[in-house]
Amino acid sequence: MAPTENHSAWKALGELSTVGLTLVVATVIGLAGGYYLDRWLGTSPWLTLIGLLLGIVAGFVNLFRTVKRVEHDIDDRT
């Protein structure tokens, strides 16, 4: 295995290992944003639920983009 291929494999592994953390962080940010908007506007629990759903969607969009990018990088190497 050449050094550039080894570097690419480690880079792909690093990108994929952050996917779980990104899912959790996006969900928590959406939930917190909705919660504070609910407290400020007095619309409990609707904005909390909307923020939670938006955070989950954002996390999964990032998941699919990351997996697609890594898959594309792997295909280019072969």
pLDDT tens-place string over residues 17-73: 888 899 999 999 999 999 999 999 999 999 999 999 999 999 999 999 988 988 887
Token pair recorded at residue 78? 């072969």
Q: Quick one: three-class SS letters along the chain?
A: CCHHHHHHHHHHHHHHHCHHHHHHHHHHHHHHHHHHHHHHHCCCCHHHHHHHHHHHHHHHHHHHHHHHHHHHHHHHHC
What is the predicted pLDDT for the residue at 63?
Answer: 92
Q: Quick one: pLDDT band at residue 5, thresholds 50, 70, 90?
A: low
For the whole model, what pTM was predicted?
0.80
What lies within 8 Å, CB to CB, of 3 at 6+ separation is none
